[in-house]
Amino acid sequence: MNTIVSIEKVIKKIPRGRIFFVDSIYKKYPIKLVQRVLLRLAKSNEVVTICRGIYFRPEKSRYLPDRPIPPSTDKMILP
């Protein structure tokens, strides 16, 4: 299996609306490759950058499909 595809699968297994850290992904894969995949997924709105190294998978809105729904504060506080 291609490494890029396996990184995408790891990221897409994260439930929508959840925050995740790059540290949790790059322990298994090269950091440059993870950053490249995250950049590509951010351009396609699969993930959104909160700040450096912190991302979240946005929930999809049925009313505004182009706009990601930000994570709730409960999900930000509790991992």
**pLDDT band for position 23 (50/70/90)?**
confident
Q: Could you tell me the CATH number of the domain that includes residue 70?
A: 1.10.10
Q: What is the pTM (predicted TM-score) of this model?
A: 0.76
**pLDDT band for position 75 (50/70/90)?**
low
The CA-atom distances, in angstroms, between 43 and each of 21, 35, 38, 73 are: 18, 12, 9, 24
Residue-range definition of the domain harbouring residue 29: 3-77
pLDDT in tens, 24-56: 887 888 888 999 999 999 998 889 898 898 998
Q: How far apart are CA 66 and CA 61, in angstroms?
A: 8
Residue 21 DSSP SS3: strand
Q: How far apart are CA 45 and CA 23, in angstroms?
A: 20
What total of structural domains would you count in the chain? 1
**pLDDT band for position 67 (50/70/90)?**
confident
